Amino acid sequence: MIVSFEGIDGCGKTTQSKKFFNYLKNKGIDAVLLREPGGTEAGEKIREILLDKNINISKWTELFLYLASRAQLISEVIKKYEEKKIVIIFDRYYDSTIAYQGYGRGLPISMINNIQKKIIKNFKPDITFLIDEDVEKLFKNLKEKDRIERESIEFQKRVREGYLKLAKKEKRIKVIKRSSIEETFKNICRQWERFLNEKGRYKEFLKKCL
């Protein structure tokens, strides 16, 4: 099973993905936590380039670097978990590319989707937690900013709007309104248990979670 955490920079998705990983481990559920870009030696080097505020790269270069990192992660890491009863947790995944490079940068979304389908194949998220918050409120509190975080408020607003549009199209995307860390996590757990109840094939996870 694949669970992804999404949201604009500073929303707290990394904190929540780590809490969710620990929650599953404490329940006796096998889980692995991965981040994008990254997760492999090649992916981590790509990540350094993508987030380096001193490097200027075109939006097309940016797109294909993200896709290259994902392709390597799928090839090197994800496939080995394919037959195992394990929860793979992503701190950013499939939807980030559509939101940032599609809606944010204005690159053709249909093209991005077509390429991503070839890369991820059957490894699409089963459920996605989208942590949502007002852009201006978030960016007041961001101190050290990487290359993406230094983008304009208008860019970040387009990304957020893109995420919310995706959530309307995709039932797997659960919008979680950001509040305190603990309250946000409680809402994630509620959505998780509801999801498990709806999907009979996940009974082995449900028994351990409840």
The predicted-structure confidence for 118-131, as pLDDT tens digits, reads as follows: 999 889 999 999 99
For the segment 131-187, what is each residue's pLDDT rounded down to a tens digit? 999 998 887 766 655 566 677 889 999 999 999 999 999 999 999 999 999 999 999
CB burial string 87-123: b at 16+ within 10 A, e below: bbbbbbbbbbbbbbbbbbbebebeebeebbeebbeeb
Q: Which domains does the chain have, with CATH numbers?
A: 2-209 (3.40.50.300)
* Beta bridge mates, 34: 90
User: Of 33-37, 80-84, 160-164, which gets the smallest average pLDDT?
Assistant: 80-84
The pTM of the full predicted model, rounded to 2 decimals, is 0.91
Place of tokens 């969710």: 20
Q: CA 119, CA 107: separation in Å to the nearest integer?
A: 18
Compute the mean pLDDT over every residue in the chain, rounded to the nearest whole number.
90
For residue 83, the one-letter residue type is E
Q: Return the bridge partners of 131, or none.
A: 176
Q: How far, CA to CA in Å, does 73 sit from each of 22, 122, 130, 155, 188?
A: 22, 14, 22, 27, 25
Whether 192 and 4 have beta carbons less than 8 Å apart is answered as no
At 103 the three-state DSSP class reads helix
pLDDT band at 207 (very low <50, low <70, confident <90, very high): low
The two structure tokens encoding residue 99: 């939101």
